[in-house]
Each structure stands twice: as structure tokens, then as C-alpha cells.
Structure 1
């Protein structure tokens, strides 16, 4: 029943008096089931009375905070720390709250406070000196104070250094020191040697229920696993000087090299080295880096003919030369979506590619959005179904062109035509009645704003299109009433389809009242 009420809570057509009744029902639910209160808290038509009633639920209060409707004066930070933290997150909590929470006896509260922005200086200093290492480490991730960040990057505990290594507010010299060790005293401890006699390596399948160490955590006196994770984070951090990061290109850990390959400020020589890495994941990451220039892309494309993954990543680079892209297109499957390089192509370049004898090249052009109308229409008339499939969902195509596509290519293009924002109601109804049904077309029709009830009824027979169709405002009251009774066969609980029907703005008032009456009787 709660699922149906949550759907009703999301219904934009819910009358004000029924909203009052639904809010009252939410107040009668136990603390263990706050879903209804949360769903109501997302509405934009709540009165002050509704807000006060819903704020009693912790998760609903957090949503009310995010939307600026909960008055901080009504919150006691010590009694409701999670709500106070949410208010601080939005920058509306008084500074005194942060000071109270920084001294909270529960380290979990202090840990959550550590990630909040705009904290007073004395609170930041307190968190940086917190007796719980996890709190200091969390603060090290989030602080934007360069002086504090630099201090934590040199903290005697390796866990704090590791956490801080990802923080872009750490000064570059301090980040470089985490990699080179220059001017940095060795860490005195880590979580492993805090808890275990060393040397120790944590079994990933550790049977101890009280053990919180991550799998593979190890220390033989040098805090090895934590130092490794520090290097990985520093390699990825864009604030780390490129020269210091590049020194890790030959690091024995593939995870460190993989992290390095994400950077966009390395030299082409370093990218070339990473693109030749023995680990496929490192090679693919480097090959997909947008900082690769044209000559290196050409070299990699020429030398990587047997590495399909690498070629696929190269083809999606914004700086790939057009002739290299055209050479790869016929043989490399690039997946859905437009190709970045073509987004910057001129009309003349697009027209030249669209005239290619290879359907794969023409299909690349057809994926692009914002094509000139003449080029779009020419591609819509292409003899190859793969090309037409790529262009069929483009806005601006006339009904005659959409029908011509279906007539020529049938089921191959049905789903894409159904997804076209300009597809008219009559065409959508015809596509929905296709025999045999084209399931992808039904899913597109179920969410199409032009769909009418004759088009939506066949969608209700498809398990994956059914829920979207149930939320479509074109459905009539009798159909919606039937969908409200939709239950899972194993649990007999209302389904997502029933919830979508309850949220449908076309749901009649009588059906809303019946749902509320049933809920009132069951509570």
C-alpha cells in the first residue's frame, strides 16, 4: 500500500484537501518507513503546516532542507544532528552548530561534519586534530584550506596522507612530495600496524566479523598498501605537478599506471608509453585520453590494428584526424551516440563523409545532432538500414519521411522512428500494433508525449514498457483504475506499474479518494 501512496504523493494533480489527508497518513507511519514522507517532501505545493508535519521524519527533513523550506530555528543540532548536517551542507546553519557537532561524542557525526563546506577556522582546526584518524582523513579529502591541506599531506599517519592525496587544494609541492618523498618524513603508522602485529597482509576472505581492514591491506614496516593507494590518488590528482606524476609511468603497479593514464597534462611521449602498456586497461585508458594529439592518434591507429578496444577509444577522441576516423569507421563498432570529432566538423567535412561509399562512415555522420536539414534528409533516404537507423530519431523529419523509412526498412528502424520527437500520434499507434511486436519501439512509444491511448495499450503488454505507459497522461480513467490493482505475482504487493498509475495526473479524484480510504483503514 505504501508504494501506491508514494505514487499518489508524486502526483502533480493531487488536490489540496487530499494532500492534507495524505500528509496526515504519513505522520501515522512508523520511523522505519519514511518513504511516504520523503515522497511528499519533494512536492512544490507544501504549506508551512505540511512542512512542519513532514519534518518529523529524518530523511524527509533532509529533503526539505535541500529545497530551502525548513527553518533552521526549528532544529536542535544535538538532538537531530543529521538534519543539522544537511542544513550546514546548504550553507544555512549557524556557525555554532558546526562547533557543537565538532565536539560531538560520536565520531560518525564528526566524520560527516568533516565534509561540509564553509566551516569556521576553529572547527577546521579541531577536525584536523581530531583524535579519530578517520575523521582527520575525511577532513583531508574535503578541506579547501591550502595550509591545512599541506599540513595533512605530511601527517604522521599514512591513512591521512593517503586520503589527502586526492584533494586538489593541496599545494603542488606537497603532492609531489607524496610521490618522490623529498622533504617528507616517513609516516609513523597506518591502519594495519595500528591494529595488527607486522608484517601483516589482510586476507581478502577474512572470516573475522570485527575486522574492518580492506582486503589486501598490508604493512611490513613501510605501510605498503597505504603508500600504494597514496601514489594512485596523487597520480590522478590534477593538482599534482605533471613531471612528478609522469615519473610513475613505469611503476610496477598497473593500478597506479592506470590512474596516471587519466591525466590530461602529460607529454605525448608519456601517453605513447602508456598506450603501449602490457595491461589492456591501461592501454585503453591512455588511448581514450582527450589530450592525445593528431600525430600520436595516427601512429596508434596504424600500429593497433589488432587491438579493437584501443581503436574504439581512439575513434571517440575529439582530436582524431577525420581521415583516420573515416578509415576506422567501416571496421570498428563504436557503439551508440554521436562521435565527438564530428561535433566540431564543418558542413563541408560532414558532406564529404556522408558521400563515402562505406555505410559505416555515413552512419557516423548520421549519428550527429544538429545536422543541416538537407544532409539529414539525404541520410534518411540512404539505401543502408544502418545509416537510416542512426538518423531516424533526429528531430525535423517529416511524417512522410518517417513512413518511407518504415516502408523501406521495416523492423530495423521501427524503434528509432518511434523515438523521433516529431512522430505523429497516428504513426505511433500503427507502430505499436506491429505484428510481431517490436519491444524497443514499445518502450519508446510508452514515453512519447504524442502517444495516445490506442498507442499505449499495446505497450502495457510489454513488461519493460508497462510502467512508463502507466504514467502517461493520455490513459483514460478506466485503464488507470485497472493498473492500480497491478500486483507482483509472488508477493501480491503493488508493482512499479501501479505506483506509476497512482502518480498519473489523469488519475480521477474518485480513485485518489479510494486509495486514501483504503490506506486509512489499513493503518
Structure 2
């Protein structure tokens, strides 16, 4: 029965009176569903927070609770949620900075706009995890100060903070101008030299696999450099020495930087790791010469990466589409194509080029209609979800290509109810069609009843408001709990049934 009540709690048609009843009996799971309701009143939010502490955090983040509704000594986690959103309550911050629960001080350290005295307190917290969290989110001046912290884990957090001044980031990479770190998480816990076994059997051990320290904190120093390489605020000049570094992870982090100079790009283009070359292939820093060279890379992951480059020439992109399996998502270069380029692609004799442009959802009417008559099924699969296609055009696609385009036609927002009914009865059937029709806003009761026969579409169809109320009520006893929960959340569930379900409790 609990899954039914969870569904009811999410039902948009549930009356305010029944919401009150559910609040009065809510446990944490039910409170989670109730806290998500868009129509929850302030009084109901306060009542729910008073019953279940965990829901107060969600309600605070959603703006349903204000500072006036929260006592930080009673609901510190909800108070932290408001501080995290920038609510100025310095007295709360001072109280929570002394909280005995480390996780709360850690959460506080990530909050914006903390008073300077609270920042100073957190910067000297006895738990290095709290200081590291502060270092990750703090202001430039504090980050620069923490770059010289004696614990390497704090320095790693500073290296990830995009507010850290460039000079401090460069010093973290090179070590120049900073005193040597004295501790790391490894030597805090183990006698050095120590290398953490990747198959460590200790259930309470949280050191990462391969963490090591011989007194130089080498695994954390590596992590500091990797974080700095990923940080766009780190001056690229301080990083160029890593182009040929033995660490694959450091070279990989460098490959995605958009400020790479041409020489570094050229060297990374011959890296033996395909993933590094693939990230480089997407990097806007590479020039046309390197783009064309990478188009002939023997590894398909590199060519797929190049297809996502924002400036890849259309002739290169078309060849890639013809020879490499590229996802069906709209590519950046196609999204940015000019009107003339769209026309050129749509008129191309190459179906790969026409498929690329058919992914756009803002095609001029004449181009969309021309592509709707395309003889190639891949072009029509890409085009079928485009809004504005007529019923005749969608049916013609199905008539010409059947199961190859059926599921994509079912996703078209303008597909008429009669067409959706025909799609779910198509022979041979396509299983994905049932799921697409079950979530389509235009699906009729007749189409949804067919979808209920499909195991994967059944929970989706059970929630559709076009399903007859009597059928929705029957589904409350379905053997599949997900189906029953979806039916309870269906706004077409009769109010009398909702009342009966709540009153059983």
C-alpha cells in the first residue's frame, strides 16, 4: 500500500484536504513525494517540515520555507540549505561553524558569502575535509592563502577552485614558491612508504585505489596537477610541460583545454591513447589542418569526437557521417550552419549530409517538406520528430519505410491521435513505439490500452491522463508496483477512489 500512497502524493489532482491527510501520516519516502508538489501551500510546507526533518531541506531549496520558518538549532540541515542559497544569516553561520557534526561544517564551508570570522574558523578546522571543502569554493584571497596549506588535500581543492588566482595555480603545478606539503590523506592513516591495494579488503577504508605516499605525497601531488590542468584559470604556459608526461591522466586533462597553442595540439594529435586524441578532436583550439588530419584517424572514437567540433568543415563532417557511427543528436556545426549551408546540405546527393541537417528542428518549411519526401530511411528517421509535419507526410513515411521509422514518427509532437492508434497496431510491431505513444500528449484511450500490453510501456501508460478512470482504478492492484504507483499518480483517478485510499490509513 505504501507505493500507492507515494503515487497519490505526486498526483496533481489530489485535493488540498487529502494532501493534509497524507502529511499527517507521512514517513520519509512519502514526505519526499509531497515536498515536490507544485501546489504545496506554505502552511503545508511548514507542517511537512515539522513532521519529517529531511523534507525541510528540500523545501528550503525549493523556496517553500524561509528563514522565519527555521530554527537552526532544531533544523540545522534546513538552515544550511538556505545559507547555501545565499540567505544572509551570519549568526546561523557562526552557530554551524561550531557544529559537532563534521558533515555540517563541511556543507557550511561550501556556502557563499560567509562572514570573514566564519571563514577563518573553517580554515583552521581540525578536520582537513572541512578545510578542503572551503578551499574548493572560497574567494580568491582565501584560496591563495590556502594554496600554501600544509596538507596536500587542501591544496588539491585549491587547484580545482576556478576563483584561485592564476599565480597560485601555477605555483601548485610547479611547486615553485610554495613550502612543501607536510601531510596527505595517505600518510595521515598509514605508515609510509604505502601503496593502497586496489582490491583493499577493509570495508571502512576510503582511500582511493592506487593512492600512495613515500613521504612526497606523490599520488596527491598528481591529483593536484590533474585538478589544475582541468582548471580554466590555470595559465596554460605552466602546463605545456605535461604534453609528453608519462601520466595518461595528465595528458588527457590537457587535451581538452581550449587555450592550447598549436604546437601542443600537434603533439597531442599523435598521442597513443585514442581517448586523448578524441578529446583533442573536439577542442576548438585545433586548426583546420589538424581537423583534416584527425578525420583520417584509425580509431572511430577520435572521428566521433571530431564530428562534435564546432568548426569542423561541412565536407569533412559529411565524410565522417558516412563512415563513422555518430550519435543521432544535433551536432554543434550543424546547429550553427547558415541558411545557405542548410540549403546546401539538404540538396546534397549524399544521404549522410541530408541526415545531418534533418536533425535540426528549425528547418524552413520548404526544406523540411523536401526532406519529408526523401527516399532514404535514415534521413526520415532524423526528420520525423520535426514539428509542423502533416499527418499525410508522417503516414507517407510509415508507408514507405515501415518499422524503420515507426518509433521516430511516434515522437512527433504533432502526430494526430488516429495516427498514434495506427502506430501501436502496426504489424510487425516495434516495441519502442508503445513507450513513445504512452508518453505522447496526444495519445488516446484506445492507443493507451494497447500500450498497456507492453511490459515496458505499461508503467508509462498507467500515468497518462487520457486513460479511462475505471482502467486507472483497476491498475491500482497491478502486480507490478511501478504500474500501480503510476496509476495512483494519474490525475484521472476518480476523487472518490483517492479519498478511499487515504482513509484506509
> One fold, TM greater than 0.5?
yes
Match for residue 18 of structure 2? 18
Report the CA distance between 1:347 and its aligned residue. Answer: 2.4
Shift of 1:351: 2.1
Q: Does the CA-based 8 Å contact 1:61-1:83 persist in structure 2?
A: yes
Equivalent residue for 1:497? 483
Deviations 1:126-154 (A, max 9, x none): 111112111111111111x2111001111
Secondary structure of 2:322's counterpart equals: coil
Distance 2:367 2:393 in 1: 13
The 1:486/1:93 distance shift into structure 2, 3 A limit, reads farther
Compute the displacement of 1:93 (Å). Answer: 5.4
Shift of 1:74: 4.0
Q: Where in structure 2 are the equivalents of 1:452-463 lying within 5 Å?
A: 452-463=444-455
Deviation larger for 195-204 or 40-49: 40-49
What are the equivalent positions in structure 2 for 1:241-320 lying under 5 Å apart?
Answer: 241-302=235-296, 304=297, 306-320=298-312
Q: Is the 8 A contact 2:282 2:308 kept in 1?
A: yes
Q: Determine the C-alpha separation between the residues in 1 that align with 2:99 and 2:274.
A: 48
Distance 1:356 1:178, change over 3 A: same
- 1:94-493 matches, within 5 Å, as 94-143=89-138, 145-302=139-296, 304=297, 306-488=298-480
> 5+ residue gaps in structure 1?
489-494
Which runs of 5 or more structure 2 residues have no equivalent in the other structure?
none
TM-align CA RMSD: 1.5
> Contact 2:435 / 2:456 at 8 angstroms: preserved in 1?
yes
Distance 1:55 1:215 in 2: 40
| 3-state SS in 1 of match to 2:242 | coil
Report deviation, 1:310.
0.9
Q: Deviations over 1:343-391 (max 9, x none)?
A: 1222222222223222222211211221111111111111111111111
- Say whether 1:72 aligns with 2:62: no
Alignment: residue pair count: 504
Check whether the contact 1:235–1:248 (CA below 8 A) recurs between aligned residues: no
Kept in 2, the 8 Å contact 1:72–1:93? The answer is no
Cα distance in 1, alignment partners of residues 212 and 338 from structure 2: 55
- Residues 432, 441 of structure 1: 8 Å contact kept: yes
**1:84–1:93 contact (8 Å) kept in structure 2:** no
Q: CA deviation at 1:336?
A: 1.0
Q: Cα distance 1:364–1:44, how it changes in 2: closer, same or farther (>3 A)?
A: closer
Q: Which residue of structure 2 aligns with residue 491 of structure 1?
A: none
User: Which TM-score applies when normalising by structure 2?
Assistant: 0.96
**Cα distance between partner residues in 1 of 2:456 and 2:284:** 36
